[in-house]
């Protein structure tokens, strides 16, 4: 299989004028994308994995951060489209566990800019301290950095257990609880009402243990913040940012 050196980027990367396919030291193929700047000799530049680029072109859309492109046969340089598939970070890690027997630490992080939760391998994260870190869900969000991101959970995928929530089968893409869910659970659990769900039903619906449901209902976990408005200084400007923890 021959791979081109220079390409004219296709949709959805057609905002870029030129691309050069390079092999990094891992080794994997990347594309350096360039656009000549107006009124200047310089270039705007970014890099994207060649496998991601090919998958995006074939799907006709850019991939989300949690869509990892996996080389099915394990050869990271075999970028034929039929050798590529999309996995979640966890599925991708499970595959690595099967191949190398290694479990990896993962973090669930709340993006400080857009507020969405995402998963990232701990080794790919920049840890500032245990709670605040400077990883953002996407390049767009990292460019803005409206507030620090927050680590919600750290866990290890384990070959032997294959699960990290007690009493449940391993779910490669578990649902992450949000404040909206917690408030909804508390609102719905009114034992005097006819349609009050049981703890087991809430546990199944939100993919959390019954113990967690009880902790939420009793206010032992997910304590409501007294004041969730903070003023954050960012590059000399003061921005008012309201964020739910």
Q: Which residues bind Zn ion (CB under 5 A)?
A: 111, 113-114, 137, 141
> Minimum CB separation from Zn ion for residue 140, in Å?
7
Q: Minimal distance in Å, beta carbon 139 to Zn ion?
A: 10
Alpha-carbon distance of 208 to 175, in angstroms, equals 9
**Is residue 92 packed enough to be buried (19+ CB in 10 Å), middle (13-18) or exposed (0-12)?**
buried
- Least distance to Zn ion, CB of residue 13, Å: 21
**Closer of 64 and 159 to Zn ion (Cβ):** 64
Count of residues for the chain? 245
CB of 48 or CB of 141, closer to Zn ion:
141
Residue 49 or 113 with smaller CB distance to Zn ion: 113
CB of 118 to Zn ion, least distance (A): 7
Q: Nearest approach, Cβ of 145 to Zn ion (angstroms)?
A: 10
CA-CA distances (angstroms) from residue 81 to 53, 70, 76, 86, 113? 10, 11, 12, 11, 33
- Among residues 145 and 168, whose Cβ is nearest to Zn ion? 145
Closer residue to Zn ion in complex, CB, 30/113:
113
Q: Is 150 exposed, middle or buried (0-12, 13-18, 19+ CB in 10 A)?
A: middle
Instruction: Spell out the residues 6+ positions from residue 98 whose beta carbon is closer than 8 angstroms to its own.
Output: 159
């Amino acid at each position: 299989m021959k791979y081109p050196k220079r390409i004219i980027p296709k949709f959805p990367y057609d905002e870029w004028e030129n691309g050069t396919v390079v092999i990094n030291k891992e080794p994997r193929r990347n594309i350096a994308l360039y656009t000549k700047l107006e009124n200047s000799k310089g270039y705007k530049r970014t890099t994207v994995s060649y496998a991601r680029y090919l998958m995006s072109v074939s799907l006709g859309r850019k991939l989300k951060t949690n869509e990892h492109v996996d080389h099915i046969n394990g050869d990271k340089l075999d970028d034929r489209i039929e050798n590529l598939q999309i996995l979640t970070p966890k599925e991708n890690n499970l595959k690595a566990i099967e191949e190398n027997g290694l479990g990896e630490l993962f973090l669930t992080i709340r993006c400080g800019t857009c507020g969405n939760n995402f998963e990232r391998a701990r080794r790919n994260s920049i840890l500032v301290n245990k709670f605040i870190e400077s990883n953002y869900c996407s390049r767009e969000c990292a460019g803005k950095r409206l507030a620090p991101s927050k680590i919600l959970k750290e866990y290890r995928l384990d070959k032997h257990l294959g699960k990290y929530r007690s009493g449940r089968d391993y779910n490669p893409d578990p649902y992450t609880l949000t404040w909206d869910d917690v408030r909804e659970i508390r609102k719905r659990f009114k034992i005097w009402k006819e349609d009050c769900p049981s703890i087991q039903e809430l546990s199944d619906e939100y993919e959390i243990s019954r113990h967690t449901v009880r902790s939420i209902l009793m206010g032992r976990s997910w304590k409501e913040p007294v004041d969730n408005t903070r003023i954050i200084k960012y590059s000399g400007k003061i921005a008012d940012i309201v964020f739910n923890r």
